[in-house]
Structure 1
């Protein structure tokens, strides 16, 4: 967040600018939760320097340090695929940032390998594949690359394809940009943009990754809501084809054989564990470690209670053994 008067950086909780003293305007709050609670899996693709990683960070509500790394550069910063997960508006949002698979430095074999690995991170299937592009930087070469990329997934992927325009401060700016291009039908860049719009079935969204917290959160809200709306109209809530099903089956087989132990059905059942031990030997702490949270008391004052319980059990057991002998 920055001061509107002097441009100084401000903390999200700031009431006044520390540089010029200007009062920070209060901004309305978005609803805490979205109506749809389903998990969202989003695959981001695009050319280097168009703001793909920054868009991923905005969708997740994290900083560059916490999330994906991006730079306005001709060299791809994202060299390997990466998946991050955050709770957003009452639901889990997963974002996969792809390497610069649209960049000329990667050959076809590398592109296909990277796509398969990225798809593996969105199983059982992605809810949206977003083409992140900066306005004014469209080309027919870009259109051809997008076509090749989407053809890799095959029929039906267009239902889940979106075009996200970066460096757009408002919906009005986006509409103005589209209308201005319509007045130049012969422009090569506009022709490329039209092709991309058609490929995504006119599902065009926008974001300004440098905007203040509230406006940016509102943009993210609208993007997620648009994905929900498109998913509701699609044949399935998320995209699946032969490739995704094959990768999912391989992942399942690996989990059953390597993680659960030779694929036994017993390994997939719930686990019930009984912990036994003397007081003070770490039994409660071990239980808490197994559960991943503190549910059993570990304080010293509970030792007396545990000893009393042990004595009671010993007396009951002694009485039972005496009864069986007679």
Structure 2
């Protein structure tokens, strides 16, 4: 292991703690890649000190992973003493699991603090893992649940220097918060990183129940968008969330489902236009979300309506995102697309671009990387540009934008809407067949 000045990282992070608390997984979370071997096991997976380095949030960071400290105390004490001989910022992370604190864990923490030494305690943070197991309980609530517990006394020793990681499906935003909190990421660093970061702005379109909100959460790596199952499911207002994902700063804009049963048609169209404004200066991709295992008449009408809503070169920025990939069961998505003329026509209209998501596995980042790679290829094919409609170049307010867009869509849409707007808030009971009037074409 090289800890000498020739390495010259901007920051060295050392992970310490008991076996099985998530040290290696935390190192991978910090690096944003699988640099260390991390898996469930009855015995220690990490058997020796190892180092991985890489760019993190605009900094070159070196992460040192260590074996369980009980049984390796002398080796780890030597490591800590060697680190003190060289200049440069360092951060010691004493790792414990949020859902388990036994006598062995307490002894391991005491050994870690002795190895670090009192003079380095200010550079030491308590890192809780298992953030996915806390559910809706905050870390502060968990720590302060029992004021007389050994855990609370330990936290008090760190004088508030503690943080929580979700190594299962959390985003790199938790790494940013740790570095900011510990003083290793300043505003000037953030400004540089923002100038250098690659941005991707994505708008989700589709029917209620197609999996838009779940897909948005999968992309961002956490439950950012509320997804509700049921007959009345559906997002009713445009929502936008952002996070750092796979080296990109990704903004996802979720839109209401295309149906007159949840929103009045005019309100629905207003929300869709708002989504384009929300993704200002313009989206890099429109993802048409389709549940592949259940293509309905409403889906087919949606496929036909999209060219009316987005004229010009919008199709160059469109991609189909098929959901419920868990139902594929080894079948070929290409074959399924060819077997349905309407789906095949939609994919062809999108330049043959499609991706498949299994939203039951939000921790599967391979599917997210595949999507971002395809969006990257699409952006490159579009000359690095995002979608920009002339409608939005000259409009100063949302009302003007909507009015101009209405004129573009034409008489067919206005005539249908006049009929539907006579009803209460655009809603008609499910047993009336003309609720799909919005989708009918002349």
| TM bracket (short chain) | 0.5 to 0.7
Measured after TM superposition, the shift of residue 180 of structure 1 is: 4.6
Query: Do 1:124 and 1:244's aligned partners in 2 also have CA atoms closer than 8 Å?
Result: no
Equivalenced residues, count: 219
CA distance in 2, matches of 1:148, 1:212: 31
Q: Judging changes above 3 Å, is the alpha-carbon distance between structure 1 residues 149 and 23 closer, same or farther for their aligned structure 2 residues?
A: farther
In structure 2, the residue matched to 1:284 is none
Q: Judging changes above 3 Å, is the alpha-carbon distance between structure 1 residues 210 and 23 closer, same or farther for their aligned structure 2 residues?
A: farther
Instruction: Give the 4+ runs in structure 1 shifted more than 6 A.
Output: 11-14, 21-24
Structure with bigger RCO (C-alpha 8 Å, 6+ apart): 1
Q: TM-score, normalised by structure 1?
A: 0.58
Query: Do 2:236 and 2:262's aligned partners in 1 also have CA atoms closer than 8 Å?
Result: no
Matched, 1:191 2:351: no
Matched, 1:242 2:390: yes
Measured after TM superposition, the shift of residue 250 of structure 1 is: 4.3
In structure 1, the residue matched to 2:247 is 90
Measured after TM superposition, the shift of residue 142 of structure 1 is: 1.8
Q: TM-score, normalised by structure 2?
A: 0.44
SS class of match (1:85): strand
Matched, 1:176 2:326: no
In structure 1, the residue matched to 2:354 is 204
In structure 2, the residue matched to 1:42 is 202
Q: Judging changes above 3 Å, is the alpha-carbon distance between structure 1 residues 137 and 128 closer, same or farther for their aligned structure 2 residues?
A: same
Query: Do 2:200 and 2:249's aligned partners in 1 also have CA atoms closer than 8 Å?
Result: yes
Structure holding more strand per residue: 2
Unaligned runs of 5+ in 1: 1-10, 185-189, 252-326
Higher Rg of the two aligned structures: 1
Query: Do 1:44 and 1:98's aligned partners in 2 also have CA atoms closer than 8 Å?
Result: yes
Pairs within 5 Å for 1:43-122: 43-63=203-223, 67-102=224-259, 104-122=261-279
Unaligned runs of 5+ in 2: 1-21, 27-37, 46-51, 57-195, 399-442
In structure 1, the residue matched to 2:376 is 228
SS class of match (1:39): strand
CA distance in 2, matches of 1:69, 1:219: 21
SS class of match (1:219): helix
Measured after TM superposition, the shift of residue 108 of structure 1 is: 3.0
In structure 2, the residue matched to 1:288 is none
Aligned Cα RMSD in Å?
3.4
